[in-house]
Chains A and B, each alone.
Chain A
């Protein structure tokens, strides 16, 4: 049976990257508990448009938790209070009637606000461009089954590869560190034979880019893992440390 709730939203509004932002309070009545959080945001925007006000800008795309586009820092948690999901997978049944919901953009020096709740996460793309790939020469495609990979490594690489690059790790980190993201990307490739070839240069290049872009230093608090929608383990950070240190010592 459908149930509806009334909520008060405190939303961060900021006209542009340089503009001074502030919180605006909106009341939203009769929100279905079956609706997703982003559908609730759509309802808010329809309400704002009907009142001839500027709608709230927020990032979203696939709305099924695989693209990494949605963000939002909801009531003190990236991707909201529920665990292991993205904002688009969060439902209004997680909130109670009369709740006040505070919605903020990711806050990190390396993720500047574009508008309202949208932030520029291009820094993550730049880290990937620095080394998060396997160089492949053109030619015949080798048979996948010709390269044996143990189940343990395959599973761990797959777990690391589930990172969608949403930025929740850096947003949750008190140090604004992107280590979990970089660790996941370095791990997924370093664990597999195709990626092993460039493991040393990759670790060095990606860490150098991460530092250059102004991300903080990891202090192993584990907030990233706790907030990661894909539950990526900080043990990958240990692997990244290992990869980076052994690459540097070899030099």
Chain B
């Protein structure tokens, strides 16, 4: 199967799974923004995306996307390490045009993935998981708070330590996306001499906006809870 056996096929899978994840991030970020304007509206979205059949299917699809992206990243990195040969260069120097993020995508990805575990504990395990548990008859967690997403946002982001951890996480994500977004388009072949700088520029603006969507909620909640209220 050429998707697995050929290098460009493998890159295609990285690219498509990456684009899927970025589109999810865009949706997730836009959804989060709602909480700044109205906690009730945000909770309505949370209720809408609870343990319903469509939300569960989407969650499974998302988990699959993550797994494919991460496993392929590991596989590709291993192959690339092997292709480099046993002997390493004694002296290496960096090139001006090569971004730091592009050389460290695996490390950045692992940082993003590591914090993701914390994030799933903070929100998913308190919300959708509790609902799933109740549906299956296991009454663990507080079902009343399971649809109260605004409560959890306030609870975690009003604590400075978590606000900072999330900002560190989001900055790693930003670095990952500054290379990832344009690179995924490049791997799909959607680029040429004229569009190369444009695609890079548009992708970086897009990546920055996506990350800012998340940052704004963290910063807003922290400032509002600690200094305004």
Contact = CB atoms under 8 A, between A and B. Distances in A.
A235 B200 CA distance: 12
B53 interface: no
Contact of B84 (A23, A175, A225, A241): A175
B189 A215 contact: no
A195 interface: no
Contact of B85 (A76, A108, A244): A108
A113 B189 CA distance: 34
A248 B11 CA distance: 14
A233 B103 contact: no
B119 to A, nearest CB: 26
Contacts of A235: 191-193, 195-196
Given A76-B89, A76-B93, A217-B10, A222 B98 contact: yes
B102 A220 contact: yes
Interface string B191-222: 11101100000000000000000000000000
A226 B84 contact: no
Which of B9, B83, B90 has the most A CB atoms < 10 Å from its CB?
A: B83
Contacts of B144: none
In the complex, which range does the number of interface residues on chain B fall in? 35 or more
B87 A239 contact: no
Nearest to A113: B87
Contacts of A121: none
A64 interface: no
Interface stretch (B42-50, B148-156, B180-188): B180-188
A244 B8 contact: yes
Interface in B36-88: 76, 79-80, 82-88
10 contacts: A76-B91, A109-B82, A156-B193, A215-B83, A216-B80, A220-B187, A221-B102, A243-B189, A245-B8, A248-B6
